[in-house]
Amino acid sequence: MAPVFRESEAMSDAVRSCEVLVVGGGPAGSTVAALLAERGRDVVVLEKTRHPRFHIGESLLPLNLPLFDKLGVRDEIEAVGMRKYGVEFNSPTHDAPVTLDFADAWDKDFPYAYQVRRSEFDHILFRNAGRKGAQLLEGVRANRVEFDEDGRGALVTAKDETGKILQWKTQFVIDASGRDTLLANQLQMKEKNPRHNSAAVYGHFTGAQRLAGKAEGNISIFWFDHGWFWFIPLADGTTSVGAVCWPYYLKSRKKDVTAFFHDTIALCPMLARRLEGARLVEPATATGNYSYAARRSFGHNYLMLGDAFAFIDPVFSSGVFLAMNSGFEGAETVIACLDRPHEAAGALRRFDAVTRRGPKQFSWFIYRVTNPAMRELFMHPRNNWRVKEALLAVLAGDIFRGTPIGARLVIFKAIYLLNCVMAPKRSIGAWLRRRRIVSETLHESAVH
C-alpha cells in the first residue's frame, strides 16, 4: 500500500503546489520535464545535487539522436561529444578484434552516436528543461511521497542543502531518481534481478591508446575471465575504463579499490596493452547491486522512469537511451492522465509495455553475452538472412519504431542455440558456472 496523508494534517501555508513534480534531474527527468513544460505544464524538478556533477555511463546509442532533435539539443551535444561509429569486440580466445559499424544496421540513417562526459551531457539536458519552462531546484533531495486517500494527488517532502524541509502538493509524481529508486524503495517494489547481478569498478585515464582515424571514438568491449571491460574515449582526451564482473570477484578484493582495479586490468592483456603508459586521473570507484527492477512502473498518479524503474548490465550502452525514451513515453502518459482521465488506464498500460520492452530486448543478449557461443557470434558476424543488420539495429537502439527485425532476431537466437548444441561440453560448462554464480549471489542476498 502507498503511504497516504490526510490533507488537514499535512497541508500548511508553506506547502507549494504544481501540476507535475519530477524527482531527479538526470536524462529521464530532464527529458520528461522539458516535454511537459513546453506544452504549458507547471513542472517542478527536484535534483539532489548540483549540475554539472559526475555520473558514469558515457556511451550513447544512434537512436538517441532523434530524441536530441526533438528536444532541440543536438548541436549542444555535438559540441561536447565524440562521434562513435561502432563497437569493437575483443576476445581472449580470438586472434584479432572485430568491429561492428552502426552504418551496417537495418536502417542506414543512423550511422553514429556519441561518447559524452555525463557531467556535460546531463547539464545540457537539465538546462534545456529550464529553458522550456520547468522550475529547476538543485540541492533538494526528495525523501518521501504520500498519496491522497482519494487518489487525486500527492504530497512530496524534500530537504534542501541547509536541512530545511520543503513540501509540494502535486497532481502527478514522476520518479526519475535513478538508482536511488525513491518510489520502488518506499513502496517495497524493488527486486534484484535473479538472472543477472553485476558489480563494477571503473576510472578515467589519460594517455590511453585509442583506435586510429574515424574509429577513434568507438567503444571497445573486452571479455575476460570474470566478466567484461568497457573502453570509452571522450572528447577531452580522457578515456573511461571499467570492469563489469560477477559480485564474487569484487568481494575477493584484499587491496584498496585502485590497486584492485589495476590488478583486474592486468587480467586482460589486450586492454592492458592499450593502457601502457596511461595514467589513472583519480582513484578508482567500485559499485555493486547493478541489476534490479521494480514490480510496477506506474500507479494512478505516478510513473517510474529509466533507472528508477529498472537497471540492466550496461554492456550495450542502453541506459541513457532507455531513460530518455521513457521520458518521451512518460510525457504523453501524463498528458493523457491529466487531460483525458477516461484514457488514463490505457495510457498507463501502454507506458508500462514500452518501459518493459527495452530492458527485455537487451536483456536476452546480456544474459548470454559471456557465454562462449554468443561470443563466437559476435566475433564471427555474418549477415545471412540479414541477422547481422537486425543485431546492429538492437545495438543501435532501434527497438521502438516498428523496424521489421523481429523475424531476423528469432533466426539469430536459433543460430545461437544451434551453436550451443554443436559444442555441448563448452555450453553446459558455461551454463553450470553461470547457474552456480547466480545461485550463490541469491543465497547471499537472502542471508543479508
CATH of 198-288, picked from 3.30.9.100, 3.30.9.10, 3.10.180.10, 3.90.950.20, is: 3.30.9.100
Backbone angles phi, psi at 440, to 5 degrees: -65, -40
User: Which residue has 496523508 as its cell numbers?
Assistant: 5
Residues 51-74: tens digit of each pLDDT: 999 999 999 999 999 999 999 999
User: Which residue has 541506459 as its cell numbers?
Assistant: 319
Residues 133-172: tens digit of each pLDDT: 999 999 999 999 999 987 789 999 999 999 999 999 999 9
Looking at residue 399, its pLDDT comes to 97
pLDDT class of 5 with cuts at 50, 70, 90? very low
Please state, in angstroms and rounded to a whole number, the distance separating the CA atoms of residues 425 and 408.
27
Q: Is pLDDT larger for residue 427 or for residue 27? A: 27
Looking at residue 438, its pLDDT comes to 62
For the cut 50, the answer to whether the pLDDT of residue 7 exceeds it is: no
Looking at residue 289, its pLDDT comes to 61
C-alpha cell at 346: 490505457
| % of the chain exceeding 70 in pLDDT | 92
For the cut 90, the answer to whether the pLDDT of residue 262 exceeds it is: yes
Residues 193-250: tens digit of each pLDDT: 767 767 899 999 999 999 999 999 999 999 999 999 999 999 999 999 999 988 788 8
| % of the chain exceeding 90 in pLDDT | 83
pLDDT class of 361 with cuts at 50, 70, 90? very high
Looking at residue 11, its pLDDT comes to 43
Which distant-in-sequence residues (6+ apart) come within 8 Å of 226 by Cβ? Answer: 243, 245, 246, 249, 264, 267
Residues 370-416: tens digit of each pLDDT: 889 999 999 999 999 999 999 999 999 999 999 999 999 999 999 99
Which distant-in-sequence residues (6+ apart) come within 8 Å of 375 by Cβ? Answer: 91, 93, 223, 369
DSSP 426: H
Looking at residue 10, its pLDDT comes to 42
Please state, in angstroms and rounded to a whole number, the distance separating the CA atoms of residues 151 and 171.
9
* Residue 119 one-letter amino acid: S
For the cut 50, the answer to whether the pLDDT of residue 12 exceeds it is: no
* Residue 377 one-letter amino acid: L
**Distance of CA 38 to CAs 28, 69, 133, 179, 302, Å?**
16, 15, 7, 27, 20
DSSP 109: T
pLDDT class of 46 with cuts at 50, 70, 90? very high
DSSP 119-178: HHHHHHHHHHHHHTT-EEEESEEEEEEEEETTSS-EEEEEEETT--EEEEEEEEEEE--G
Looking at residue 274, its pLDDT comes to 98
Q: Is pLDDT larger for residue 440 or for residue 359? A: 359
Please state, in angstroms and rounded to a whole number, the distance separating the CA atoms of residues 67 and 120.
17
Looking at residue 441, its pLDDT comes to 56
Domain ranges of the chain: 4-72+118-192+294-361, 198-288, 367-447
- 3-state SS class at 289: coil
C-alpha cell at 265: 586490468
Please state, in angstroms and rounded to a whole number, the distance separating the CA atoms of residues 163 and 160.
5
Looking at residue 8, its pLDDT comes to 36
Looking at residue 370, its pLDDT comes to 86
Q: Are 128 and 25 in contact (CB under 8 A)?
A: no
Looking at residue 447, its pLDDT comes to 44
Secondary-structure class of domain 4-72+118-192+294-361 per CATH: alpha beta
The per-residue pLDDT of the chain, averaged, comes to: 92
Q: Which residues pair with 20 in a beta bridge?
A: 43, 172
C-alpha cell at 393: 539495429
Residues 109-139: tens digit of each pLDDT: 999 999 999 999 999 999 999 999 999 999 9
Q: How far is CA 224 from the centre of its chain?
A: 22
Looking at residue 418, its pLDDT comes to 94
Q: Are 394 and 362 in contact (CB under 8 A)?
A: yes
DSSP 33-76: HHHHHTTT--EEEEESS-SS---S--B--TTHHHHHHHHT-HHH
**Intra-chain end-to-end CA distance of the chain, in Å:** 24
Looking at residue 434, its pLDDT comes to 67
For the cut 60, the answer to whether the pLDDT of residue 1 exceeds it is: no
